[in-house]
Structure 1
Amino acid sequence: MCDEIQIPIKQSKTVNPTTKIVFLGLEIDTIKLEIRLPDEKLAKIRSSIIQALNSKKLTLRQLQSLIGLLNYACTVVSPGRAFLRRVIDLTIGLTKPFYVRRLTQEAKADLHAWSVFLEHFNGKAVLLSDKWESSDSLNLFTDASNLVFGGVFQNKWFYGKWDASWSTVHITIKELFPIVLAIELFANDMANSKVNFYSDNLAVVHIINNQTSKDKLIMRLVRRLVISVLQNNLFFRARHIPGIQNVAADMLSRLQISKFKQLYPHMDQNPTPVQQPLTI
């Protein structure tokens, strides 16, 4: 057909029908429904991260090479962009390829996150449908007060009390914490899925959807969130819910456990345990 309509074909680039193909440098597997980083590229990324972490300073050229590799990995590891910003910031003000910049602790923390993730994730992403899961399947509802936090996921639920060390922590951090905790608690149930995180705190919704904040404590939680997301190939979005509609999670954050069980008898009889002490 191509000959008939005079479309040139490059035989060296032609592949017969197959369930596994390398396209634009990525390996696509239609049987496993996976997009993978080729082994040689994965090894190169790991090696570059280790080299950077073992160096006190990097030249602009080295930084740009590392950033390019991580940008490439983001094709598969899309949430990984949250761990690129502070590495990219190191290049600001460097005008010559041989100019050097000392690695900051924040940049090293981001590179450690990439290293941990690639070790467990191995550069794979499961292909999911574009349609988000229905509202009665994969939704997480959380809430927090200055004394208690809680959350509901499917038929599972959890709650906990803040200890004295949290007394001066900003409410935005307290509202973000149970979302991060829930991903860690229910990782097996959320893996390879799309989940809506419902919060009545607009600031938390913005932070999660943009995966960034100027607050260092919040960014510490964001790192935990993204690492859990990447390790479990979880696709997510945060949505705002008015407090008056966030009934179940609100009850847990007020320690109204008996009332919660009465109104939601289909939930697990006992809460999912939360390990103490709580740490950011």
Structure 2
Amino acid sequence: MLLEFAKRKRASRRQLESLAGKLAWACRVIKGGRTFLRRILDQLHSLRKPTHRVILSKEFALDIDWWLRYLAVFNGTHKFIDPRPITDVHIDASNLASGIYYRGDWQYTAWAHDWPSAHPLHINHKEALSVLLAARRWAHKWQDCTVHIYTDSQVAMANINKGTSRNALVMSALRELFWLSVTHNFHIQASHEKHTQVTQWK
């Protein structure tokens, strides 16, 4: 089916539903599958009726290409990952900036100056992008590990754990996060944690 879609220029909603359904089922055992299903779903959701057809985008083709390349080498197993999690990675984001900290090392990112395209985004999206910033900086130190991230955003938690987002920039970040996790063989798991308020006494 993937080979057939790689040659297609157009497809109906019914055809896209069949493709997306099979790939969603495969995502249960294929790491990163959901991350490379988003652009297929975007094409599907652009059609209202089963018989309506759409010209398939270049972005759609990129997701199809990922599935074809990954299935060719995936043997149903993954490399060993230590189940004992790393829990001392700290991230937090505001509308102005992001802060990340891990074992004495830290990074401050001012959205408007360092990542202008992220500056207008909702705080939930900025929280998810902060996880990518942490992975870019410390992926080489997370080799063969499970990394437990705490976030005060349930949206960011869902983005990280499911590997998907409807926001294009966040989706691009999740794809990069996936490739970092494969390259350095680590697994990220996000949990929701409400920040406690600290009263400052003068």
Which TM-score band (shorter chain)? 0.5 to 0.7
Give the drift of 1:142.
0.5
CA-atom RMSD, angstroms?
A: 3.9
2:33 counterpart of 1:84? no
Look up the match of 2:84.
Answer: 133
Deviations 1:184-220 (A, max 9, x none): 2222222332111111222211222233333333323
- The answer to whether the 8 A contact 1:57-1:102 is kept is yes
The CA distance in 1 between the partners of 2:152 and 2:112, in whole Å, is 23
Question: Paired residue for 1:39?
Answer: none
1:224 to 169, 176, 200: 176
Distance 1:169 1:192, change over 3 A: same
Query: Against the structure 1 CA distance between its residues 167 and 68, is the aligned structure 2 distance closer, same or farther, given a 3 Å change threshold?
Result: closer
Structure 1's 162 and 107: CA in aligned 2 closer, same or farther, altered over 3 A? Answer: same
Task: Indicate the SS of the match to 1:194.
Answer: strand
The farther-off stretch of 137-146 and 171-180 is 137-146
Distance in 2 (alpha carbons) for counterparts of 1:65 and 1:122: 20
Equivalent residue, structure 2, for 1:233: 185
Tell me the amino acid that sits aligned with residue 56 of structure 2.
L
Q: Describe the SS at the equivalent of 2:84.
A: coil
Judging by fraction of residues, say which structure has more helix. 2
Counterpart AA for 1:107: F
How far apart are 1:179 and its partner, in Å?
0.5
Please list, as runs of the form range in 1=range in 2, the aligned pairs for 1:51-200 lying within 5 A after superposition.
52-53=5-6, 55-57=8-10, 68=22, 72=26, 75=29, 77-87=30-40, 90=44, 102-114=55-67, 118=70, 122-123=73-74, 125-128=78-81, 132-134=83-85, 137-164=86-113, 165=116, 166-200=118-152
Alpha-carbon distance between aligned partners in 2 of 1:194 and 1:175, rounded to the nearest angstrom? 20
SS at match of 1:82: helix
TM-score (normalizing by structure 2)? 0.67
Residue by residue, what CA displacement relative to the aligned partner does 1:4-23 show, whole Å, maximum 9, x if unpaired? xxxxxxxxxxxxxxxxxxxx
2: CA distance between counterparts of 1:200 and 1:66?
31
Q: How many residues align?
A: 189
Q: Residues 145 and 87 of structure 1: is their aligned pair in 2 closer, same or farther, counting only changes over 3 Å?
A: closer
2: CA distance, partners of 1:115 / 1:191: 26
TM-score of the aligned structures, taking structure 1 as reference length: 0.52
Cα deviation 1:151-189 (Å, max 9, x = unaligned): 123443222222353543322222211201211222222
Report the counterpart of residue 5 of structure 1 in structure 2: none
For residues 188 and 55 of structure 2, what CA distance do their matches in structure 1 show?
34
Q: Provide the residue aligned with 1:210 in structure 2.
A: 162
Partner Cα separation in structure 1 for residue 142 and residue 67 of structure 2: 21
Would the alpha carbon gap of residues 201 and 65 (structure 1) be closer, same or farther in structure 2, given more than 3 Å must change?
closer
Residue type at the aligned position of 1:103: L
Ranges in structure 1 where 5+ consecutive residues have no aligned partner = 1-44, 248-280
Structure 1 residue 113, shift from structure 2 partner: 4.7
Q: What is the CA–CA distance in structure 1 between the aligned matches of 2:64 and 2:184, rounded to whole Å?
A: 19
Alpha-carbon distance in 2 for matches of 1:202, 1:72: 25
Q: Within 2, Cα distance between the matches of 1:242 and 1:175?
A: 13
Amino acid at match of 1:220: S
Bigger Rg over Cα: 1
